[in-house]
Amino acid sequence: MSEKTSRRDFVKTAAAGIVGFGVGAGVGYGASQMMAPPTGVAPTVTKTVELGKTPKGVPKEPIKIGIVSWFTGASTMVGEACYGGARFAADEINKAGGILGRKIEVLKRDAGTPEVTVDAVRRFVLEDKVDLMGGDIGGSNANAITTHVEQLKTPFFLQCSTTVKMVEELDPNPVYLFRSGEQNLAEPNVAAQIIAREFPNAKRIAGINPDYVYGREAMMYTMKALNKLAPHMESVLETWPPLGATDFSSHITAVLDAKPDVVITACWGGDFVTFAKQATAYGLFQKTNVVSILGSMALNSLTKDIVPPGVWMLQRDYYFEAPPHNLYPLNKWFVEEYRKREKKFPEFDVMQIFSAIFAYKQAVERVYAATGSYPENEEICRAIQNSQVVSPAGHRAITSDGQFINPLPYGKTWHDPKYPITTIDPKTLGFIMPEYVYNPKSLPPVLKYPLGTGMKYSDWIASW
């Protein structure tokens, strides 16, 4: 058997083994925890790399990470979170000696239209020669880059930006594309479960959602799930402000006129901040119940004058107070260090790219330890699949089709005097476990992950 064949066999058959590597005294507490094997997971390979000595056959050039996101416009907060999280991970890994001695550099390019975003991805690979990419770029842009990422054979870690269309039609069996943020199918299920449980007597549902693939999917699948979990509820009005809207007044007043019991909104980033300011002015939060699917992306802009107590907010797959700091020191370290660096609280985009880079590091070292050769991109990606990574959000499982999975936090807003922003009332903070995200009515719970199996998401919901 040739060396190349044996290496391919390794990455194809590797399951959930984690490679632990020695770390230097310069690394922070949190990074040292992320570089260690998860408790209870038996490593298939264990190897210690002595820092200060470059392993044989390892390229001397630095590892380049390209971040594609919004660095101009209303949603620069999103790009800053992705870039800040990537630099945070790079700095911690570099303190510990890099990845097999290779230091990390982080580059960035602006997203825009699908054409602009595709160009940024291609230039990163073809001109900048990056080793991996990541970023939160929006559903339409993510759909546009999918084919290019697979053709370029360079790993890309999406934060959010993951549509059902992508995983059902455009790239059902990805090799190089990973979803380090929870994909769109999770949030409608979580929103539907919250609405069915917290507002069991509600009948009239309305929506104010951005008019593009993500907003459309969010509302459609929430209602499909509600039709099964609470069939007495119906949609009475759905409005579709354009992405990047600056005036939500007509949408808000139309919804108020419809007198809904619950309003669903998937507005995010700068759009949610604009929406929340105007919704507060019109009294929307006081006159009806609001469930925000993605407003938490704008965490550091959710000041107390625009988001009142009592709004149910999903946190995608990370909230900075969960897991609780007294129970999970890694999250405490992560939040404190990020605040020192950026003067902000870490949004879920920060955690997603941070843990993705550590998953990449883990895979490179894992393949090298087993084969003695520096891995090719496909080998790295295969080693990431079906693995786990320790993160500030807890252990994250990574499926065979590249989906990072962990419990999903949510809760109701309140004004905590110790924070300058609106946060989640700890009395309402909860988690929906993956088995209830992907199969809410299973008793006993069974993790059922229909995407990647050929089953359409709509058909799966219909089977509940």
CA atoms within 13 A on the CB side of 178: 34
Residue type, 243: L
Strand partners, 397: 388, 405
Calculate the CA 199 to chain-centre distance.
Answer: 27
Residues in the chain: 464
Q: How far apart are CA 377 and CA 202, in angstroms?
A: 50
Whole-angstrom distance, CA of residue 138 vs CA of residue 258 = 30
- Strand order of the sheet with strand 132-135? 104-110, 63-69, 132-135, 156-158, 177-179
**Residue 47 pLDDT grade (very low, low, confident, very high; cuts 50, 70, 90):** very low
Lowest mean per-residue pLDDT among 18-32, 128-142, 269-283: 18-32
Higher per-residue confidence, 306 vs 32: 306
Axis crossing angle, helix 139-152 with helix 114-126, rounded to the nearest 10: 30
Instruction: Please give the backbone phi and psi of residue 303, each rounded to the nearest 5 degrees, phi first.
Output: -70, 160
d(CA 389, CA 395): 6
pLDDT at 456 over 60: yes
d(Cα 397, Cα 404) in Å, to the nearest integer? 6
Choose the weakest-confidence range: 35-44, 89-98, 448-457: 35-44
- Stronger pLDDT, 172 or 210, i.e. the higher one: 210
Least confident of 163-172, 276-285, 331-340: 163-172
In whole angstroms, give the CA distance from residue 19 to residue 47. Answer: 7
Comparing 1 with 361, the larger pLDDT belongs to 361
Rounded Cα gap, residues 259 and 3, in angstroms: 68
CA gyration radius, the chain: 22
pLDDT tier for residue 442 given thresholds of 50, 70 and 90: very low
Tell me the mean pLDDT in the region 254-270. 97
The three-state secondary structure class of 326 is coil
**Is pLDDT above 50 for 108?**
yes
Residue 274: predicted pLDDT:
96
DSSP H helical segments within 102-243, as ranges?
114-126, 139-152, 164-165, 186-198, 213-229
More confident residue, 384 or 55: 384
Residue 6 structure tokens: 């044996």
Q: Residue 322 and residue 180: Cα distance in Å, rounded?
A: 18
* Residue recorded with tokens 């219909």: 462
Residue 346 CA neighbour count, 13 Å, CB half: 35
Q: Which pLDDT score is estimated for 32? A: 52
| Tokens standing for residue 445 | 């719970």
Domains by residue range for the chain, with CATH: 3-182+323-401 (3.40.50.2300), 186-315+406-462 (3.40.50.2300)
359-383: pLDDT as tens digits: 999 999 999 999 999 999 999 999 9
Full-model pTM: 0.88
Per-residue confidence at 211, pLDDT binned at 50, 70, 90?
very high
The β-bridge relationship of strands 104-110 and 312-314 is unpaired
- pLDDT single digits (tens) 62-107: 999 999 999 998 889 999 999 999 999 999 999 999 999 999 999 9
Q: For residues 28 and 363, what is the distance between their CA atoms, to the nearest angstrom?
A: 21
25 phi/psi in degrees, rounded to 5: -70, -20
Q: How confident is the model at residue 435 (pLDDT cuts 50, 70, 90)?
A: low
- Helices 213-229, 186-198: inter-axial angle, 10-degree rounding: 40
Q: In this predicted structure, what is the pLDDT of residue 166?
A: 86
| d(C-alpha 139, C-alpha 329), whole Å | 34
415 touches 304 (CB < 8 A): yes
Phi-psi region of 107 (alpha: psi -120 to 50; beta: other; left: phi over 0): beta
- According to DSSP, the β-strands at 177-179 and 132-135 are unpaired
Judged by average pLDDT, the poorest of 33-47, 158-172, 377-391 is 33-47
Q: How many CB atoms lie within 10 A of CB 399?
A: 17
Amino acid at 424: I
